[in-house]
Structures are given as structure tokens and as C-alpha cells.
Amino acid sequence: MNKLLHVENLGLQDYKKIWEYQEKLFNEILDIKSNNRKQNASAITPNYLLFVEHPHVYTLGKSGDIQNLLISEENLLKIGANFYKINRGGDITYHGPGQIVGYPILDLENFFTDIHKYLRLLEEMVILTLKEYGLKAERSSGETGVWLDVATPFARKICAMGVRASRWVTMHGFALNVNADLGYFDNMIPCGIKGKAVTSLNVELGKAEISIEEVQGKLVRHFLNLFEAILVKEGSPAQFIK
């Protein structure tokens, strides 16, 4: 079992480019596992956590309903946004500048073989991070992701999640609104859930902007603790080593 974690901060990158990069890492891990079985070998499989911000883009998961996208292709061009149908679970979501998108590409056989536990730990990582900012974040029964004030008429989502897994290897992940332009969420029914709002960390704290790097650092720390992983420090950004 290899619990070493490579963290990569990719900055602002096109969605399709990073989707292809995810697929490359994902398939490399699957190939190692396949060769291990065929050759009765024990080569280790690596684990990655990619951080990225995307230019404005809407993505629709395998089980999603295109009707949840409320804007035409022509108007997408006008607002500078792209749209992709992708191979993760979940419905429609938005990514854009000011949002931390995290893609854990893990071989869960290095940690545990339980997708439900995997999703709950990702949620817990975000919940614990937001707690450091004085926010009481929580889960909403039957709905993946992280919310505020779930049991009130003012329920609002701050982090969306959607993953893909094959032979216990994961890709895609979570999107945490930190300094997000919430106006872009008006062009869809977030995650296909009607009647609930979306929020961002800076809005909740009443600040113009929150440090993306600071939030990333907190997320990494909680990820390492929850997954009992070990950070590969060589080549990692300084903020993840503190």
C-alpha cells in the first residue's frame, strides 16, 4: 500500500486540457494494476491531488439532464463559457475563476476500498476546512457535497462533488467556491437540485477575496489526516509543506 500523495497546483487551466491530463494519470495507474495482475508483480501505484481553476465552463455528468442547463449554446459563447458532457457521476455543475477544483486521482486500494467512505471523507475535508473560517458546514441527506444551513429555508451549497471510479482508481472530484462569481450559477439548476441556493466563501465571510493558496493548504492538511496519507514534499508548492 502506497500512501504517498503528489500534490500539483496547476493554476488557471482549460477544462478539456486538464480532463485529458486526468485521464492520462488515471490510465497510467490502471495499466500498472493490470500489469501487476498479469505478471504477479507488486509495482506501486501513485496517488495525486490536482488543484486547478478553470475558465468558465459547465459540465454534465453521465446521469445528468441537459434540461438543467438554462442557457443556449449561442448565449454560452456570449458569456465566454464552454460546455462538456463528461464521464463522472452527478448532474450539471459550473467551474470558473475563484473556485478551487480538486481532482484526487487515487488508487483506493492504497487506502480503503469503499466509494461511500471516499465521498464522505472528501466532504469532511471541506467541512473541516470551512470550520477554520468559522462556518458550520454540513451534509444534506441524499445529496453529495457540502452545504450551509441545510435544515432552513436558506440552505445553500458551497461545494459540489462528482467522481468517477474504475477498479478502485478515482478521478474528477470537488469544486469549492472561494471567490466565485455566483452569477454564472443562474444559468443552470445546480446539480439538478431545485430550490436551493449556491454560495461562496468570500460571500459568507463578507470579504472581497479569500486567499486561494491558504484554502488549498488547509484542504491538503485535512486530506492528509483523513486519508492517513503522506505528502511528497519534493517539488510541491511551499504552502503545502507548512
Confirm whether residue 125 is marked as ligand binding. no
Confirm whether residue 93 is marked as ligand binding. yes
Q: Which residue has the cell 486567499?
A: 211
Confirm whether residue 91 is marked as ligand binding. yes
Confirm whether residue 144 is marked as ligand binding. no
Residue among 29, 150, 191, 215 flagged as catalytic: 191
18: number of Cβ within 10 Å: 17
Confirm whether residue 86 is marked as ligand binding. no
Confirm whether residue 88 is marked as ligand binding. yes
Confirm whether residue 89 is marked as ligand binding. yes
10 Å CB burial of residue 130 (0-12, 13-18, 19+) is: buried
Angle at alpha carbon of residue 102, lines to 59 and 42, rounded to 5° = 110
| Helix locations, the chain, DSSP H | 15-39, 73-78, 115-131, 201-205, 212-227
Distance in angstroms (rounded) separating the CA atoms of residues 119 and 95:
19
Among candidate residues 98, 91, 123, 60, the one with its CA nearest the CA of residue 177? 98
Confirm whether residue 15 is marked as ligand binding. no
Confirm whether residue 120 is marked as ligand binding. no
191 noted as active-site residue? yes
Confirm whether residue 21 is marked as ligand binding. no
Distance in angstroms (rounded) separating the CA atoms of residues 147 and 36:
41
Q: Which amino acid is present at 156?
A: R
Confirm whether residue 206 is marked as ligand binding. no
Q: Which three cell numbers stand for residue 219?
A: 484542504
Q: How far is CA 7 from the centre of its chain?
A: 14
Just list the catalytic residues.
191
Bind-site residues for substrate: 88-95, 160-162, 173-175
